[in-house]
Structure 1
Amino acid sequence: MSKTRITAEDLYNISMVSDPQFSPDGRRLAYVHTRIDRQSNGYKSAIWLASLDGERLRQFTAGDKRDTAPRWSPDGRWLAFVSNRGDDKAGAQIYVMATDGGEAHRLTDLENGAGEPRWSPDGSRIAFTSRVDAEEKAGEAENENETPADPEEAERRAREKEKREKERSDPRVIDRFAYRAETSYFDGRTSHLYVLDVDPGTGRAAGKPRRVTDVERDYRDPRWLPDGSALLAVAGRKPGEDDIFYHSDLVRVPLDGGPEELLTGPETEDASPRPSPDGRWIAYQSLPVPELSAANVEIKLIPAGDEGGEPRVVTGALDAHADDISWSPDSQSVCFLAGRKGRYELCRVGIDGGPVETLLSAEREILAYDLSPDGLQAGFVASTDRAPWDLYVAALDGSREERLTDVNGDWLADRVLAEVEDLWFESSDGTRIQGWIVKPPDAGPGPAPLVLSVHGGPHVMWSRHEASMWHEWQVLAARGYLVLACNPRGSDGYGRDFRASLIQHWGEADLGDLMSGVDQVVARGLADPERLFNTGGSYGGFMTAWVIGHDQRFRAAVAQRGVYDLISFYSTSDIPLLTEWEFDANPWEHTELLWRYSPLAYVENIHTPLLLIHSENDFRAPIPAAEGLFVALRRLKREVEMVRYPRDGHELSRSGEPKHRVDRLERIAGWFDRHLERD
């Protein structure tokens, strides 16, 4: 049987693997397998187990809804996880299941759901987060000794809660700087730390969850100190100190009732606290607040004891972001992921700093990993341009590597895939730029129509194995388009100076980089200069509109979820201070500057047919900017259409409603097809 090309509808065939977790004995990996469900127009996830010594793969949970965040008990007998299999109104709850099989039992029954479980070192407690407001906190004390409600009483409470929620948001009263995020408004609740006693013998709850934080701010990512005496966590700034939800500190929360201790200060943005196995150190990620856009994310160490001490940087030799920290079992080094030159690599550095050692590096994108308990292996999820989202295990000394899953192998066996070719080129000023071209399968002789695909961020890094773009690039190539993607100036992965060169210069150096890439591909005879198209999302949407406002060579363009007016962006986005980080500017003092770097300012220069794609609940790059660009182009009688997706937000292309994702891909390719031949 002949193979067929990939289509937008193949989204429903794609499976994804995530969150690998080694068992305490190092013989198995738990992971999450997510599939896209056409019937429910949503996603379903199951937890699977991969045996490293024979049995191979076993589905552990049914996956009828979404089972995520598998976490082994220290003795390996139990697997705790989060699932929305119960009452949808209550949110996802924590369940526990014996690792040798059986039925899962529910540990939590919280009104607003429960977050990722974290077992205490002795396996007798689980820490997690849950969101509450002042009224619900008061109710916790009243209900401390209450027996579980019968079904009728539980239903009555659910109805009362639903009524309260409607009243709470009608009207909405806003009294804080940041009041919405992603696709929803803040509801007056904050995320707090809870601890639940668990019977290690039965895996069942031994009492009710106990809230261990009380300050009105959001807490996340709880981690146990090795002696079980306290939790480390990331804490948002207190209201009145810095009411911006994306700034954070590290805190230590003692479990004997004492006050929490602030571990870091307001001059840095800090996250991911990881205590060393010997209890002496806390490793964490840190960024200087004045340089959030320019600086590298560093790994710092502080003493874990009461004596305190100044933080010290251990990744000073690394000119890249350091992410996803893990300790070696002997507490002498930390491992992390680093993105460099289109690859995400697993690296290691000693606690005294010094040179950074690369442990795993190959032509792939490592998305997540976990170290084995003995520190000799890594289980990791990686994508390649031939096989997206699979689970691997590798010895850190390089002696062995094995691919454990092939979750997309069956359906891909019947598809013809586009080939990806590396492309390094010189920009107009001689700067070397890394890119890739995705070639149409079985392309005939002569140059092909070209789609320039531009990444968002602006400070992110794409790879030839980019999991988030794999399907889109394959769909466009299957329709006969040559796709050009690259990492222009401002991208991560090429050092601090390369990233920082875009600050206060949006659309300048990177425009030259992008156009030089197009020129290179045209000069090689691969792309037809009369059939050029461009698209991108977020900052890529900004650049799509910017390009056609400054260059007339493109036949059609699709701008997605973009920022087109930096003045209004400041007051409507859920990250308003981006303009201060990137331009050191605000709208009332620097109106002219922000307007000069807004694509809307150049609307009269836009003659390229433009399709605008935007989600109605996008609070990152809100839809009024797209509406403004659309109305201006219509008033100027230019060819423009706008597609609005209800309910979805900024993550439409990656995790939006599947029906919308398929429709979006069809509209992008269809818009280019419509303008493929000149009238």
Structure 2
Amino acid sequence: MRLKSAAFASAAILVSAIPAASQTVPVIHQYGALALSPAGDRIATIEAQAGRGVVTLRSAADGKVIGTLDPCASCGYSGLTFAPNGDLVFLARDYKAGTVALDYVGEAGADAKGKVRTLATVRGIAQTPRVSPDGRRVALLVTLGAAKESGATQAGVRMIGEIGEHNDEQRLAVFDVAASNVADVQPVSPQGRYVYEYDWTPDGRGFVATTALGNGDNNWWVATLDAIDAQSGAVRQIAKPATQLNQPRVSPDGRTIAYIGGLMSDFGSIGGDVFTVPFAGGTPRNVTAGAKETVTTIDWTRGGLRTVSLVGDRVRLGMLEPGRAVAPGFAQAASASAGDGRAVFSADGRIAAAVMQDYEHAPAIYAGPVAALRQLTHDNDSVQPSVAARSVSWKNEGFDVQGWLLGPRTAPSAKAPMITMVHGGPSAASTPGFVMPTTMVGQLVNAGYYIFLPNPRGSYGQGEAFTAANKRDFGGGDLRDILAGIDAVEKVAPIDDGRLGLGGCSYGGFMAMWANTQTNRFKGIVAGAGLSDWVSYYGTNGIDQWMLPFFGKTMYEDMKAYQDVSAVYFAKKAKTPTFIYVGERDIEVPPTQSIEWWHALKDMNVPVSLVIYPDAGHCVPAPEQSRDVTQRAIAWYDKYVKAAR
């Protein structure tokens, strides 16, 4: 239940942001869908050239551009992955035609002039190509005739006709690299089963995958770990973990599977411990139990398991060794991304690559030995930061809690207002990413506000026990952590306690609505795609399965647990002026939740404004609509927070 990147078969390249009035906006060079060759000598990314994203190959030794590929001028590219022999595979999505081409580049070597061949054309959407260990086949996740984009955060289909009788199915398809003609798309995995993630087995005979029967948006929380035969499509269940699972990876000898397991509130919001289970089946074993960190990426290389973890305020690449926790590796107070994970590794596990950034430094590619990554690209070195950032830690009720404080580069001469922004999830975390001056955060800081981004209990970064600490306690301990964090921030920065605001989207939107009934400390609130009534939400949202790990029972079995954390039942206590926004086709948090809260606040004579954005999905991601949200939110904060007192 958080805002996250779409699982599109395309990669958006930001050439420049829309400038604010009388403000020079830097042009940020972006690196999308980063992939590393098996030998660790080449990097592939999607980068801007002449105003559009093209496939770019770079040397992993010095970052220099080797060459570019752009076979379809009307397409967006994604899914970059290397074959075992170093050939390159990627997806080219033609939005006008409604197709995705699976492209293969042989001999994409030193001059990057290998010929691009199309192996298949998918009428629908596709993602996650992976080449078989012998290099002869390419597997792909396909959704034929897709009615919507993949993922629950995407705008849903219109709710008309007989409901629930048709769902998009994401299935595995396999294509022959040596085929002379463009192949027909014939999925291998069976109908009725949604495949979320997969990995080839070393012998190339099949896959391990996370799958579920029925609606793909709703059933990831009950997905199982399965084996799928590459010829017949037969499915064999390997394990049904008690936790959510992500990134299944098979050991080089084919005997063991590793995956990330934990309490996760959204597909794609990956975090937890590392579990292993025999390929033949059995009970999963937690091999990082008790670690005070959250593993967000794993890869099983010939050199062993490689991991990326969030450790407090730092991201760390490490090596998982049998019988011990993750061995220390490269660590930095930044966020790392690459392809569909958060770092990529060479086949032997010695070399890693990632796109690194933090609040004050724009993206750059880092690569090198796992324990000693170094910066390769310098396209953004001259970009000046628009904010100053610091990590803030505090203790509350026995927990170690961390957050980020962003403010002006020059300290103000007087105390300043502050907006606390709560991340979605709740199983997620606010991690460093470069702040453009045109974003809501950038504009608020430029207007004289501080921004506080807390990671209260329920967040990633402090271990699985910390992530699970808000079970059956939404808006309880996590809200107290946030309020204690505000106290901690006020001790280290010139914050005016009489001018505090609150905001967030998704779970952050719930917290913004709920906090209005629990404290009068905030002067203005912005709530995006929030939940005001967990009882009605259970029966109207499109992802009811996500709540069961947190509440323990369905709403019909334990209604009081859902009522106890619903703002509408405490509406008489709400006093803080609130701006509410939501997407018309949000299936994660339907707009009825916002309408309920808007109606309650109006009845309580609390200043309130509600905007429902047409055809929008979760947290209103479309650029033009997002800019409107930003303008309205800043005006709201200026009126009720900045002007307080």
Query: Same fold by TM-score, threshold 0.5 exceeded?
Result: yes
CA distance in 2, matches of 1:289, 1:120: 29
Instruction: Work out whether 1:463 is the aligned partner of 2:463.
Output: no
Instruction: Work out whether 1:639 is the aligned partner of 2:607.
Output: yes
Q: Who is 1:600 aligned against? A: 568
Task: Select 2:173's aligned residue among 170, 175, 194.
Answer: 194
Q: 1:279 to 1:420 in 2, by over 3 A?
A: same
> How many residues get paired?
604
Instruction: Work out whether 1:120 is the aligned partner of 2:132.
Output: yes
**Structure 1 unaligned blocks of 5 or more:** 38-43, 137-167, 177-186
SS of 2:572 mapped into structure 1: helix
Is contact 1:390-1:407 (8 Å) kept? yes
Task: Select 1:665's aligned residue among 630, 634, 640.
Answer: 630
* CA shift digits 1:390-410 (9 cap, x unpaired): 311031243xx3222345445
**Which amino acid counterpart does residue 329 of structure 1 have in structure 2?**
R
Give the number of the structure whose residues are more often helix, by fraction. 1
Q: Who is 1:326 aligned against? A: 299
Deviating more after overlay: 273-282 vs 658-667? 273-282
1:614, CA displacement in angstroms? 1.2
Task: Select 1:65's aligned residue among 58, 71, 75.
Answer: 75
Q: Who is 1:366 aligned against? A: 336
CA distance in 1, matches of 2:413, 2:193: 61
Instruction: Work out whether 1:265 is the aligned partner of 2:240.
Output: yes
CA distance in 2, matches of 1:216, 1:430: 46
Q: Who is 2:161 aligned against? A: 172
1:284-363 mapped onto 2 (5 Å cutoff)? 284-287=259-262, 297-304=272-279, 310-316=283-289, 318-330=291-303, 333-350=304-321, 352-363=322-333
SS of 1:227 mapped into structure 2: coil
Is contact 1:339-1:493 (8 Å) kept? yes
Instruction: Work out whether 1:610 is the aligned partner of 2:578.
Output: yes
* CA shift digits 1:93-131 (9 cap, x unpaired): 212234222663422123324333221222221111223
SS of 2:536 mapped into structure 1: helix
**Which amino acid counterpart does residue 587 of structure 2 have in structure 1?**
F
Is contact 2:63-2:377 (8 Å) kept? no
Q: Who is 2:9 aligned against? A: none
CA distance in 2, matches of 1:442, 1:256: 63
* CA shift digits 1:336-369 (9 cap, x unpaired): 222221222222212x332321212122122321
1:61, CA displacement in angstroms? 3.1
Q: 1:50 to 1:509 in 2, by over 3 A?
A: same
Q: 1:557 to 1:36 in 2, by over 3 A?
A: farther
Structure showing greater radius of gyration is: 1
CA distance in 1, matches of 2:437, 2:286: 34
1:201-212 mapped onto 2 (5 Å cutoff)? 205=181, 207-212=183-188
CA distance in 1, matches of 2:552, 2:49: 43
CA distance in 2, matches of 1:602, 1:492: 29
* CA shift digits 1:8-48 (9 cap, x unpaired): 998994554333222233211112337998xxxxxx64322
**Which amino acid counterpart does residue 140 of structure 2 have in structure 1?**
F
Q: Who is 1:626 aligned against? A: 594
CA distance in 1, matches of 2:239, 2:436: 34
CA RMSD of aligned residues (A): 3.5
Is contact 1:264-1:270 (8 Å) kept? no
SS of 1:558 mapped into structure 2: strand
Q: 1:273 to 1:393 in 2, by over 3 A?
A: same
Q: Who is 1:375 aligned against? A: 349
Instruction: Work out whether 1:90 is the aligned partner of 2:98.
Output: yes
Q: Who is 1:81 aligned against? A: 90
SS of 1:492 mapped into structure 2: coil
**Which amino acid counterpart does residue 575 of structure 2 have in structure 1?**
H
CA distance in 2, matches of 1:10, 1:479: 15
CA distance in 2, matches of 1:314, 1:370: 21
CA distance in 2, matches of 1:593, 1:482: 35
Q: Who is 2:551 aligned against? A: 583
CA distance in 1, matches of 2:578, 2:55: 43
**Which amino acid counterpart does residue 27 of structure 1 have in structure 2?**
D
CA distance in 1, matches of 2:386, 2:141: 43
SS of 2:483 mapped into structure 1: helix
Deviating more after overlay: 519-528 vs 461-470? 461-470
SS of 2:133 mapped into structure 1: coil
SS of 1:581 mapped into structure 2: helix
Instruction: Work out whether 1:31 is the aligned partner of 2:45.
Output: yes
Q: Who is 1:139 aligned against? A: none
1:566, CA displacement in angstroms? 0.7
Is contact 1:317-1:355 (8 Å) kept? no
Q: 1:370 to 1:442 in 2, by over 3 A?
A: same
Q: 1:354 to 1:169 in 2, by over 3 A?
A: same
**Which amino acid counterpart does residue 70 of structure 1 have in structure 2?**
L
Q: Who is 1:648 aligned against? A: 616
* CA shift digits 1:217-243 (9 cap, x unpaired): 11243322222222332221369xx98
Q: 1:667 to 1:13 in 2, by over 3 A?
A: farther
Q: Who is 1:158 aligned against? A: none
1:586, CA displacement in angstroms? 3.7
**Which amino acid counterpart does residue 195 of structure 1 have in structure 2?**
V
1:530, CA displacement in angstroms? 2.3
CA distance in 2, matches of 1:191, 1:670: 42
SS of 2:511 mapped into structure 1: helix
**Which amino acid counterpart does residue 590 of structure 1 have in structure 2?**
D
CA distance in 2, matches of 1:170, 1:553: 40
Q: Who is 1:247 aligned against? A: 222
**Which amino acid counterpart does residue 259 of structure 2 have in structure 1?**
Y
**Which amino acid counterpart does residue 377 of structure 2 have in structure 1?**
T
Is contact 2:239-2:281 (8 Å) kept? no
Q: 1:402 to 1:613 in 2, by over 3 A?
A: same
1:298, CA displacement in angstroms? 3.2
1:210, CA displacement in angstroms? 4.1
Q: 1:382 to 1:25 in 2, by over 3 A?
A: same
Is contact 1:233-1:252 (8 Å) kept? yes
Deviating more after overlay: 564-573 vs 188-197? 188-197
**Which amino acid counterpart does residue 46 of structure 2 have in structure 1?**
V
1:602, CA displacement in angstroms? 2.4
Instruction: Work out whether 1:217 is the aligned partner of 2:193.
Output: yes
Is contact 1:380-1:393 (8 Å) kept? yes
Task: Select 1:49's aligned residue among 45, 57, 60.
Answer: 57
Seq. identity, %: 24
Q: 1:320 to 1:525 in 2, by over 3 A?
A: closer
CA distance in 1, matches of 2:531, 2:50: 29
**Which amino acid counterpart does residue 83 of structure 1 have in structure 2?**
A
Moved over 6 A (4+): 8-12, 34-37, 466-470
1:455, CA displacement in angstroms? 1.6
CA distance in 1, matches of 2:63, 2:515: 54
CA distance in 2, matches of 1:471, 1:406: 23
SS of 1:597 mapped into structure 2: coil
**Which amino acid counterpart does residue 129 of structure 2 have in structure 1?**
P
Q: 1:673 to 1:83 in 2, by over 3 A?
A: same
Instruction: Work out whether 1:568 is the aligned partner of 2:571.
Output: no
Q: 1:595 to 1:17 in 2, by over 3 A?
A: same
Is contact 1:267-1:289 (8 Å) kept? no
Deviating more after overlay: 503-512 vs 476-485? 503-512
